[in-house]
Structure 1
Amino acid sequence: MFPLTEENKHVAQLLFGTGTCPRCIFRFCGVDFHAPYKHSYEELLNDIQKFLKAEKDELILEVPNPPLKKIRLQELEDGIDNPSQNGENKISVIEDGSIASPNSNLNVNVCNVCLGILQEFCEKEFIKKVCQKVEASGFEFTNLVFSVSFPPQLSVREHAAWLLVKQEMGKQSLSLGRNDIVQLKEAYKWITYPLFSEELGVPIDGKSVFTRMAVMKALNKIKEEDFRKQFPCPPNSPKAVCTVLEIECAHGAVFVAGRYNKYSRNLPQTPWIIDGERKLESSVEELISDHLLTVFKAESFNFSSSGREDVDVRTLGNAQMLTPSTRFCFMTGCVLPGRPFAIELVNPHRVHFTSQEIKELQQKINKSSNKIQVRDLQLVSREAIGHMKEGEEEKTKTYSALIWTNKVIQKKDIEFLNDIKDLKIDQKTPLRVLHRRPLALRTRVIHSMETHYVDEHHFRLYLKTQAGTYIKEFVHGDFGRTRPNIGSLMNVTADILELDVESVDVDWPPALDD
C-alpha cells in the first residue's frame, strides 16, 4: 500500500520538484514503518508519479541493506554544489526522465537531501561489494554490528529541506517538528539490514554509531533566518553522489581467562621498561599473550589480573609449597592455585575453539617456558571479568616469607605470632612505590600467621592477609611507615629475604578438570 495520503501531496510535490528522492519524501512526510522503503526503485518512482500525476518520470534509487562493519561516506570535494550559492542548477531530465550519475552505472538523479545514500548505497550491487570485503577479511563471526559514518553535509541539507517544508506547511496552518522527520540512519537501516543479513547469513545487530553531534548542535542553535541567508532552501541539486572512501572490517574483542603460577624471581608481571629502556627480556604477560595473539590472529591485547606481584616474588600455589594446614585447605578446594588473569584480544580473526583446542593451547604455553605455568585457561565474557576485579580488595591472599632477624632467636621467640588473629595494621604508601602511587594511609588486616623455625637468624612465616597488604613492609616496617610490624612485635630488626604468593582467594575463573 502506498504510504502517502492526500494531505501529504503538497509536501511531496514540493520536494519531488526540487530533486528529492521518494524515500526522503517518505521521511519528510513522517512515514515511520519499514515496508514502503524496501520497495524497488521502479515501484517507488511509478507510485510517486501516479500519486503526483507527474508527466515526467525521475529515476531514483533504493536501499535494501546497510553497509557492513564501518563505512565512511563523504562527498567529493568537487562533486557537491557550494552550499552558500543560491543554486540555479535545475534537474535536467532526459527523455525517460532520468539523468546519468558520474559515479554509478545506474542512471539516477542524485537526491538533493541524502546525496544518493538512499539510492545507490541501498542497491544489491553495493551490498555485495561490502559483503565481499567482509568475507575477504578472514574474520570468524556469528553476528554483525553495523556502523556507518555519514558526512556532516547531510545534516545541513536535511535542515534546509525541513525549513522549506515547515514554511509551506505553515501556510496551511500545519506544523512539522524536527523530530517528526524519520532519521536518515533509521531509513537506511530498515532497507539494508535484511539485505546484509541475507547475503552473509548472520543476524545484524541494531547498534550504529554516528558522529554528527557538532553539526546538529549548531543547527539547533542557529536562527532560521540566519540559516536561510547562508544555505539555500531547498538545498541545491548535487552534481555527484556520495563516494565510499573506505570499508573497514573489525571483530569484537574476545576474552581469555585463567590462573598463572610464576616460578622465577627475575620475571616481572608486565614488561619492565624505564625511560624507554627495557630492563628484563620478558614478562608473565608476554609469555602468555604472545601465544594467544598468534592463535586468535588478533591485532593486540590488554592484560589484567587480580593484583600483581613484584619482580622478585613468586606466585605458587603448588601443594608441596604450603604448610600442612594450608595444604589441607587447598586440597579440599578453598584455596585455588595461581593468580587469576584475563586477556582481552583485540580484533581477533579466529574466535571459534573447541575445549580440546584451548587445552592444547594451555599445554603449548606451559611447555614454552619453565618460568610460568597456566591452568584453567578458558574463554569468558566481558561481564565475567568483573568477578576478578571484585575480589582484588575484598578477598584474602596467602603468603610465605623467609625472614631474617638481627638478633639470635629460638623457636619459642616466634611461637606467639601463631596466636595473633585479625591484627589491624596501618600502612602508609611504601617508599618504593611512592613515585607512582599517591601518599595515603591504609588500614589492612593480618588474619592469621603461622611460623616455621629455620635457624638462629631465620624463620619462615605463613600469612593470610587482606588483599592489598604490603607484605614486605609488614616485615621490616618501612622506616616506621607500617605499624605494627614483625620487627616491632618481636623487638628486633627484621627483613624479608624471599616472598611467595601461595594463593589468591578469588573463586574465578571456574576451575576446570585437568
Structure 2
Amino acid sequence: MFPLSEENKHVAQLLFSSGTCPRCIFRLCGVDLHAPYRRPSKHAAWLLVKQEMGKQSLSMGRNDVVQLKEAFKWITHPLFSEELGVPIDGKSLFEVSVVFAHPETAEDCHFLGEVCPDCFKPAKNKQSVFTRMAVLKALNKIKEDNFLEQFPCPPNSPKTVCTVLGIECTHGAVFVAGRYNKYSRNLPQTPWIIDGERKMESSVEELISDHLLAVFKAESFNFSSSGREDVDVRTLGNGRPFAVELLNPHRVHFTSQEVRELQQKINKSSDKIQVRDLQLVTREAIGYMKEGEEGKTKTYSALIWTNKVIQKKDIGFLNDLKDLKIDQKTPLRVLHRRPLAVRTRAIHSMETRYLDEHHFRLYLKTQAGTYIKEFVHGDFGRTRPNIGSLMNVTADILELDVESVDVDWPPALDD
C-alpha cells in the first residue's frame, strides 16, 4: 500500500474508476516515490483532479503533479538496467530514442490546432506540427472552460496499446576546443558559398573539423569561435579560440597522447593553418569563450596607405590617443547579413611605425567587435572618427593581421 494523503484518496478512486492508469494516478496525486512507478499496472485528467480538489476547498496546481517525463524515467530506467545488466545513469551521454505510434489517440491534439493556430507552425525536419513543445504551449494558452468544451473529461480509456516504430541509439555530442592561427589571405573561416556555388576551395572550419569528424567517427559537427576574421586577414600570435561540437560520435575516449597526435596531423595537413591547445571540453566550458566577448580586447597590425605625402611627425599624435570612442554604423560590406545599427567601440591604444611617404604600419589594441578596416578608411563616413578624418587624408588599409585575441580560453597546454 503506497501513501496517499486523505484528500487524495477520493480523487484516486475517481480516476481509477474512469480508467486512468495507476501510474498516472500516482503522478496526479503527487506521489514522488520511485517504487510505485516500477510496478506493472493527462491534461484532461489533471483538470478532473483540480475540480475534485476544489470541491474539498483544496487548491491544486500543476507543480503539485509529478511530471510525466520524470515518471517515465522511474518506470523505464529499472527495466533497462535489468535487461542490460548495467547501472543506469540519468546524465549519461548515451541516448536511446524510441518512437511510438498510437493511431487511436493520434487525433487527440488536433482540436488545439483550431483553437490555438498560432502555436502550431511548420518546422524543418518535423513531420507534424503537433510537437511536444507546441502542444504544451497550446495547453498553457487555452482556457480551462474552453478545453472542457472540446475534450472529454475524464479522457476516454484507450482500447489498444501503442506500437514501436523504431529505436535509435545515439551518443550525446562531445566538444573539442583549441586555438587556431590562419596564415593565408585567401582562406575564409567558414565555407564561402554563394547561390550554391563555392567561392574558395576550403576554409578554416573544414581544415580543422574534417579531421575531427573522421577520428571521432561523428555524423556531423558545429564550428564556433571567439569572433572571426575576414578572408584576407591573417590570425597570428597565440591564435583565435575555437570549439567544435561533434554530433553522435562513435568514438569518444582518447588519451592525451592521441589528442596531441591528432593536433599534429591537422597541422601537417596544411600550411594555411595551425592549431594549438587541442583538448576535449564540456558543453558548459564553451560558454567561457563567448562570455563577455564584447568586453574583451584584440590587437591588430595594419598596413596603411595615404593619398597625401606624410612624414613621421604627421602620425606621431596617434600614439598619444587613448581609449578613443568611435561610432560605427553597420559596414556596407556586412549589411546584407547584419542589422543596421550604430555601435560605439573603443580604440584603447595605437602605435605607429613610419615606412615611407605614403605608408605606415599601425598597431591597435581595441574593444572586441571593432571593424578595423572601417576605422581606417571611414566607410564613406559611416565610422567616425576614423584614421582618414583624424589625419585629414584619404586613408586605406592594404593588409590586416590579428596579433592577439585576449580570451583566456581554452587552458594552455604544455607542448
Q: TM-score range by the shorter chain?
A: 0.7 to 0.9
- Structure 1 residue 420 displacement after superposition: 2.6
Offset from partner CA, 1:18-57 (integer Å, 9 cap, x none)? 877765676688765333444xxxxxxxxxxxxxxxxxxx
- Structure 1 residue 444 displacement after superposition: 2.1
Question: Residue 167 and residue 490 in structure 1: after superposition, are their counterparts in 2 closer, same or farther (change >3 A)?
Answer: closer
Structure 1 runs not aligned, ≥5 long: 39-157, 319-337
Cα distance between partner residues in 2 of 1:223 and 1:299: 43
Question: Residue 496 and residue 201 in structure 1: after superposition, are their counterparts in 2 closer, same or farther (change >3 A)?
Answer: farther
Question: Residue 9 and residue 394 in structure 1: after superposition, are their counterparts in 2 closer, same or farther (change >3 A)?
Answer: closer
- Structure 1 residue 247 displacement after superposition: 1.4
Instruction: Say whether 1:182 aligns with 2:83.
Output: no
Question: Residue 512 and residue 230 in structure 1: after superposition, are their counterparts in 2 closer, same or farther (change >3 A)?
Answer: closer
- Structure 1 residue 466 displacement after superposition: 1.7
Please identify, of 283-292 and 225-234, the stretch whose mean Cα deviation from structure 2 is larger: 225-234
- Structure 1 residue 442 displacement after superposition: 2.5
- Tell me which structure has the larger Cα radius of gyration: 1
Question: Residue 254 and residue 201 in structure 1: after superposition, are their counterparts in 2 closer, same or farther (change >3 A)?
Answer: farther
Please identify, of 308-317 and 400-409, the stretch whose mean Cα deviation from structure 2 is larger: 400-409
Cα distance between partner residues in 2 of 1:168 and 1:446: 67
Question: Residue 9 and residue 415 in structure 1: after superposition, are their counterparts in 2 closer, same or farther (change >3 A)?
Answer: closer
Q: Is the CA contact (8 Å cut-off) linking 1:267 and 1:284 kept in structure 2?
A: yes
Q: Is the CA contact (8 Å cut-off) linking 2:93 and 2:171 kept in structure 1?
A: no
Q: Is the CA contact (8 Å cut-off) linking 1:402 and 1:459 kept in structure 2?
A: yes
Cα distance between partner residues in 2 of 1:420 and 1:7: 75
Q: Is the CA contact (8 Å cut-off) linking 2:93 and 2:173 kept in structure 1?
A: no
Question: Residue 188 and residue 313 in structure 1: after superposition, are their counterparts in 2 closer, same or farther (change >3 A)?
Answer: closer
Question: Residue 486 and residue 296 in structure 1: after superposition, are their counterparts in 2 closer, same or farther (change >3 A)?
Answer: same
Cα distance between partner residues in 2 of 1:24 and 1:417: 73
- Structure 1 residue 463 displacement after superposition: 1.4
Offset from partner CA, 1:219-251 (integer Å, 9 cap, x none)? 899999999999888877765422111212222
Cα distance between partner residues in 1 of 2:73 and 2:48: 26
Question: Residue 252 and residue 404 in structure 1: after superposition, are their counterparts in 2 closer, same or farther (change >3 A)?
Answer: same
- Structure 1 residue 371 displacement after superposition: 0.5
Q: Is the CA contact (8 Å cut-off) linking 1:388 and 1:506 kept in structure 2?
A: yes
Question: Residue 451 and residue 224 in structure 1: after superposition, are their counterparts in 2 closer, same or farther (change >3 A)?
Answer: closer
Q: Is the CA contact (8 Å cut-off) linking 1:362 and 1:377 kept in structure 2?
A: yes
Offset from partner CA, 1:150-171 (integer Å, 9 cap, x none)? xxxxxxxx67888999999999
- Structure 1 residue 413 displacement after superposition: 3.0
Question: Residue 488 and residue 291 in structure 1: after superposition, are their counterparts in 2 closer, same or farther (change >3 A)?
Answer: same
Offset from partner CA, 1:399-447 (integer Å, 9 cap, x none)? 1111122233333333333233222223222222223223322222222
Q: Is the CA contact (8 Å cut-off) linking 1:426 and 1:441 kept in structure 2?
A: yes
Q: Is the CA contact (8 Å cut-off) linking 1:376 and 1:511 kept in structure 2?
A: yes
Please identify, of 361-370 and 299-308, the stretch whose mean Cα deviation from structure 2 is larger: 299-308
Question: Residue 224 and residue 396 in structure 1: after superposition, are their counterparts in 2 closer, same or farther (change >3 A)?
Answer: closer
Offset from partner CA, 1:427-472 (integer Å, 9 cap, x none)? 2222222232233222222222222222232221211122122211
- Structure 1 residue 264 displacement after superposition: 0.4
Question: Residue 4 and residue 293 in structure 1: after superposition, are their counterparts in 2 closer, same or farther (change >3 A)?
Answer: same
Question: Residue 36 and residue 417 in structure 1: after superposition, are their counterparts in 2 closer, same or farther (change >3 A)?
Answer: closer
Residue aligning to 1:288: 208
Cα distance between partner residues in 2 of 1:227 and 1:475: 63
SS in 1 for 2:412: coil
TM-score by length of 1: 0.61
Residue aligning to 2:223: 303
Question: Residue 230 and residue 284 in structure 1: after superposition, are their counterparts in 2 closer, same or farther (change >3 A)?
Answer: closer
SS in 1 for 2:231: coil
Question: Residue 236 and residue 426 in structure 1: after superposition, are their counterparts in 2 closer, same or farther (change >3 A)?
Answer: closer
Cα distance between partner residues in 1 of 2:35 and 2:342: 65
Offset from partner CA, 1:326-375 (integer Å, 9 cap, x none)? xxxxxxxxxxxx11111122222222222111111111111111100001
Cα distance between partner residues in 1 of 2:149 and 2:93: 31
SS in 1 for 2:337: coil
Q: Is the CA contact (8 Å cut-off) linking 1:3 and 1:36 kept in structure 2?
A: no
Cα distance between partner residues in 2 of 1:376 and 1:32: 46
Cα distance between partner residues in 2 of 1:218 and 1:492: 61
- Map 1:318-333 onto structure 2 (within 5 A): none
Q: Is the CA contact (8 Å cut-off) linking 2:306 and 2:394 kept in structure 1?
A: yes
Question: Residue 208 and residue 163 in structure 1: after superposition, are their counterparts in 2 closer, same or farther (change >3 A)?
Answer: farther
Q: Is the CA contact (8 Å cut-off) linking 1:306 and 1:391 kept in structure 2?
A: no
Question: Residue 455 and residue 243 in structure 1: after superposition, are their counterparts in 2 closer, same or farther (change >3 A)?
Answer: same
Question: Residue 225 and residue 489 in structure 1: after superposition, are their counterparts in 2 closer, same or farther (change >3 A)?
Answer: closer
Residue aligning to 1:18: 18
SS in 2 for 1:341: strand
Q: Is the CA contact (8 Å cut-off) linking 1:428 and 1:442 kept in structure 2?
A: yes
Please identify, of 445-454 and 356-365, the stretch whose mean Cα deviation from structure 2 is larger: 445-454
Question: Residue 170 and residue 375 in structure 1: after superposition, are their counterparts in 2 closer, same or farther (change >3 A)?
Answer: closer
- Structure 1 residue 271 displacement after superposition: 1.0
Cα distance between partner residues in 1 of 2:135 and 2:225: 42
Offset from partner CA, 1:252-305 (integer Å, 9 cap, x none)? 222211111100000011111112221111111111111111112222211111
SS in 2 for 1:453: strand
- Structure 1 residue 483 displacement after superposition: 2.6
- Structure 1 residue 508 displacement after superposition: 1.1
Cα distance between partner residues in 1 of 2:58 and 2:359: 92
TM-score by length of 2: 0.74
Question: Residue 29 and residue 377 in structure 1: after superposition, are their counterparts in 2 closer, same or farther (change >3 A)?
Answer: closer
Instruction: Say whether 1:481 aligns with 2:365.
Output: no
- Structure 1 residue 188 displacement after superposition: 4.0
Cα distance between partner residues in 2 of 1:402 and 1:12: 79
Instruction: Say whether 1:32 aligns with 2:39.
Output: no
Structure with the largest fraction of strand: 2
Cα distance between partner residues in 2 of 1:386 and 1:232: 47
Alignment: residue pair count: 376
Q: Is the CA contact (8 Å cut-off) linking 1:391 and 1:506 kept in structure 2?
A: no
Please identify, of 488-497 and 14-23, the stretch whose mean Cα deviation from structure 2 is larger: 14-23
- Structure 1 residue 486 displacement after superposition: 2.2
Cα distance between partner residues in 2 of 1:21 and 1:385: 43
- Structure 1 residue 217 displacement after superposition: 8.3
Instruction: Say whether 1:513 aligns with 2:388.
Output: no
Q: Is the CA contact (8 Å cut-off) linking 2:259 and 2:278 kept in structure 1?
A: yes
Structure 2 runs not aligned, ≥5 long: 95-130
Residue aligning to 1:412: 313
Question: Residue 460 and residue 353 in structure 1: after superposition, are their counterparts in 2 closer, same or farther (change >3 A)?
Answer: same
Q: Is the CA contact (8 Å cut-off) linking 1:255 and 1:342 kept in structure 2?
A: yes
Q: Is the CA contact (8 Å cut-off) linking 2:226 and 2:242 kept in structure 1?
A: yes
